Amino acid sequence: MSSQSAREFVHWRAEDGVATLTVDRPPLNALSYHAKEEIAACLEEIAADPAVRCLVVFGAGGRAFSVGSDIKEFPEVTARRLGRQRAVHEHALYNRLDFFPVPTIAAIEGHCLGGGLELALACDLRVAGETSYLGLPEVKLGVFPAGGGTERLPRLIGEALARELIYTGEPVDAREAWRIGLVNRLAPAGQALATARELGRVIAARPGATLRTVKAVMDRGLAMDLLQAEQLAIQAIAELFQSEAVREGVAAFLEKRAPRF
């Protein structure tokens, strides 16, 4: 069973438990205000689909996952003093993706820069084609990555490396991104989406209730201190042990058969 929806710059479809949200704004998938609104709307539709167990985010065209914000909008932001409003809007979008109810994967092909990288950072996992480049070049325009880059990048790769990438604005290639932990998996050029979908199908084969629970536990727990996070996990696992997912998983193991989640 599959489902899908399309807008001007963003469309999505779901099949076998894996939804793929595609940004398609040629030539480089710049994230205009309108494109971000469409991403947000699609995320709500996908979240409401109970059959979806994993989400893949992709930038169409092969040249770029996304080069980030549409710079043509910046003069108006400056003239109308909309900097704060713009940042609030971006954080709301990236937080929605970060705290999405099911696991998320960014499939990166080509350039992944600025707000495009911030979009990828809001995903749980990242798969990059081997010819991709990733970076936060905002400092070269006199601004900085204020859509979550200054928060998420240090938490992912460490403070010192994140500071270097943000201060210099210089990108890294896919292999270096993998080496420093910015990317989970490398794929041959042109195969990032296929590789991400394959990983998504593996994840989607797991019980939906468990995926949603562990996603929420990790999302919330990482924002807590250790003891608070432990209590959150204890409560969640206690509730999960009463679920059909655990009953079926344990029964299948004891009966030496494949589980039917």
Is the pTM higher than 0.95? The answer reads no
Q: Is 90 a catalytic residue?
A: no
pLDDT digits (tens, 9 = 90+) for 8-21: 999 999 999 999 99
Which residue in the list 118, 130, 164, 248 is annotated as catalytic?
A: 118
| In the chain, domain spans | 2-204, 208-254
Which residue in the list 38, 90, 109, 138 is annotated as catalytic?
A: 138
Q: Is 255 a catalytic residue?
A: no
Block means of pLDDT (10 residues each) for the chain, length 261 residues? 83 97 97 95 97 97 94 77 81 96 98 97 98 97 93 97 98 98 98 98 95 96 95 95 86 87 86
- CA distances in angstroms from 161 to 173, 195, 259, listed in the order given: 14, 27, 43
Classified by CATH at the fold level, domain 2-204 comes out as 2-enoyl-CoA Hydratase; Chain A, domain 1 (3.90.226)
CATH topology of 2-204 equal to that of 208-254?
A: no
pLDDT digits (tens, 9 = 90+) for 163-177: 999 999 999 999 999
3-state helix/strand/coil string of 90-138? HHHHHHHHHCCCCCEEEEECCEEECHHHHHHHCCCEEEEECCCEEECHH
**What would the CATH number be for the domain defined by 208-254?**
1.10.12
